[in-house]
Every structure is written in structure tokens, then in C-alpha cells.
Amino acid sequence: MTSKFFAIIAGVGAGTGRSVALRFAKSYPVVLLARNPQSYSDIVSEITSSGGQALGISADTSDADSLASAFKTIKDELKDQHLAAAIYNVGSGFAVKPFLDFTPSDLEASLSSNARGLFNFAQQTLPLLLSSVSASPPHPPSLIVTGATASVRGSPRFATFAAGKFAARALTQSLAREFGPQGVHVAHVIVDGVIDIPRTKQWEANGGVEDGKINSDAIAESYWHLHTQHRSAFTQELDLRPYVEKF
């Protein structure tokens, strides 16, 4: 990889992660992180076969050591390059059930992927993003975090998922306020709707109307817009939802 800047996307697979990877790969080499190679291998192929550069690395963001090891590899592989954008899009599946049916491990799963994983990812990427500020990046170095309806609303039967998502939003706000003045753009995106991916094909959403589920390429366009915002006009948070979504 020879470009001066690169991007990292944690949490790829179908949907947002893949679309964001493809979008950012138009401008940067991209590093894709996922727990299992099968989550990123097809995307790596897709990017490289169309002339982009992509590197997949297996890592568990909720495990500080696993992530540190992945970043050691990244620094080795991309030495002399600067981190332009870091996207945190890790999502565990989540359980939806009456509160008294949840177990402590349901809560742990949500806290791990949403809070602990973001914490670790931010600790690894922010030093790199900070050092990019002075490297004449084309756009302000950015950390963008994927949120959900549950980031701002504790719905019944969503207690554990909301706990993790609220926590991630808290981290993101705090990071925005600390690192914004240092030139790093930290943004949070509330994805409020069902994303149109193979796994959700059978899901009923908005009565089955056209575009009633979110096109993940459209999400990626907004991430790219966030990344390219001028530092005098940073967005800290925006929502994304289908035109027919109730909210």
C-alpha cells in the first residue's frame, strides 16, 4: 500500500460495514477488522478486484490485547501512512426479550461490543488520528461511530441493547468534546430503521414499501460526508431513517 493515508473499518460484513468500506476505498486503502475472516474476505476481494487496496485483519475489538495485536500488524503493514478515518461499526446481534428473561451474559454481550469494543478501538485509533492532524490530510481525521434507535431510546424488551448503545453514545460525545479541539472529528450516527441486507430480507418493515429499509450505500454516503466536513462545521450527531419510518 502506497497512499499516504488510510482508513480502518471495524465491524464489516453485510450492510453498513461493507458499504462504508467500499465507499472509503474509493479514496483510501482500507483496513477491515472483523472477528472472522469470512466477514471481510469477500469485501477485500471486491475492493482489490476493482483496483482498490484492502487489508483484512481478524480481531475482537472487545479484547484489548487482540485489538492491540491487530494494530501492531496495521502499523507494520502501513508504516509511513497516516490514519485518515476510523469507523466503529461493530454490532453484536442483540436479544429482544422481557427484562426478567435476560441473563447477565446478554448484558455483557451488549456492553462488550458497544462500549468496551469502542473504548479499545478509540484508544488505538485516536493517537493515530491525532498524529494525522499535522500530516496535511485531505479532510480532518475522523472517528465515526454507528449508533441505533436504541442509542437514544430505551424501549421495552431492549434493555441490554440500549444499555450498550447509550454507553457508546456517551463515549462518542466525550471524545468529540475532548478531541474536536485537537482537530479530530468524532461523530455519532443514529441508524433508525432496518437495514436492507440478506439477513433482513424477510423482515417486515414499513409495510414492505419500496425503500422502507435503509440502503447501506446511502448510510455510507453520509459517513463520507461527515468525513469530508470542514473543521469549522463538524456534525457531532445525525440520524438516518427511511422516509416512511415512524419516529
Contacts of its own copies in 92-151 (CB under 8 A): 98-100, 102, 104, 107, 111, 115-116, 119-120, 122-123, 126-127, 140, 150
Cα-to-chain-centroid distance, residue 44: 17
State the minimum distance, in angstroms, from the CB of residue 101 to its own copies.
Answer: 10
> Is 244 one of the binding residues for its own copies (CB under 8 A)?
yes
Torsion of Cα atoms, 144 then 21 then 19 then 193, to 10°:
-30
**Options 42, 46, 77, 237; binder of its own copies; rule CB under 8 A:** 237
164-203 binders of its own copies (CB under 8 A) = 164-181, 183, 185, 193, 196
Cα–Cα distance between 207 and 60 in angstroms, integer? Answer: 36
- How many of the chain's residues bind its own copies (CB under 8 A)? 81
Cα–Cα distance between 152 and 168 in angstroms, integer? Answer: 11
Helix, strand, or coil here: 142?
A: strand
Q: Angle CA(3)–CA(62)–CA(189) in degrees, nearest 5?
A: 65
Cα–Cα distance between 133 and 40 in angstroms, integer? Answer: 28
- The residue (of 41 and 206) whose beta carbon lies closer to its own copies is 206
Cα–Cα distance between 182 and 185 in angstroms, integer? Answer: 9
Cell of 84: 485518515
63-82 binders of its own copies (CB under 8 A) = 64
The angle that helices 37-49 and 16-25 make with each other, rounded to 10 degrees, is 30
Question: Which span (41-49, 51-59, 73-81, 239-247) binds its own copies, by CB under 8 A?
Answer: 239-247
Cα–Cα distance between 123 and 61 in angstroms, integer? Answer: 11
- The residue (of 25 and 163) whose beta carbon lies closer to its own copies is 163
State the minimum distance, in angstroms, from the CB of residue 95 to its own copies.
Answer: 12
Cell of 179: 478531541
Question: Which span (23-31, 33-41, 74-82, 218-226) binds its own copies, by CB under 8 A?
Answer: 218-226
18-37 binders of its own copies (CB under 8 A) = none
- The residue (of 40 and 166) whose beta carbon lies closer to its own copies is 166
Cα-to-chain-centroid distance, residue 63: 17
**Options 51, 76, 134, 156; binder of its own copies; rule CB under 8 A:** 156
Helix, strand, or coil here: 103?
A: coil
Question: Which span (7-15, 50-58, 84-92, 234-242) binds its own copies, by CB under 8 A?
Answer: 234-242
Question: Which span (24-32, 35-43, 50-58, 207-215) binds its own copies, by CB under 8 A?
Answer: 207-215
Question: Which span (1-9, 43-51, 75-83, 211-219) binds its own copies, by CB under 8 A?
Answer: 211-219
Q: Please choose, from the candidates 65, 80, 47, 226, the residue with its C-alpha nearest in 3D space to the C-alpha of residue 145.
A: 226
